[in-house]
Chain A
Amino acid sequence: MAEQTENPLRDAIAEAIHENRVILFMKGTPEMPACGFSARTVAALQATGAPFAAVDILPDPRIRQELSALSNWPTIPQLFVDGELVGGCDIVTEMYESGELHEALGAPAAPAAPAAPAAEAPAADAGPQPLGVENRLS
Chain B
Amino acid sequence: MPTPDEIKQRIESAIPESTAEVEDWTGGGDHFRATVVSPAFTGLSRIQQHRLVMDVFAGEIGGPIHALSVKTQTP
Which residues of A are in contact with B by a Cβ distance under 8 Å?
A: 37, 68, 72-75, 85-87, 89-91, 94-95
Contacts and interface: CB of A to CB of B under 8 A. Distances in A.
10 contacts: A72-B51, A73-B54, A74-B54, A74-B61, A74-B62, A75-B62, A75-B67, A87-B47, A89-B69, A94-B46
Given A37-B67, A68-B62, A90-B70, 8 more contacts: A74-B54, A74-B61, A75-B68, A87-B46, A87-B50, A90-B69, A91-B46, A95-B46
Interface of B: 46-47, 50-51, 54, 58, 61-62, 67-71
A90 B50 contact: yes
Contacts of B71: 90, 94
Contacts of A90: 50, 69-71
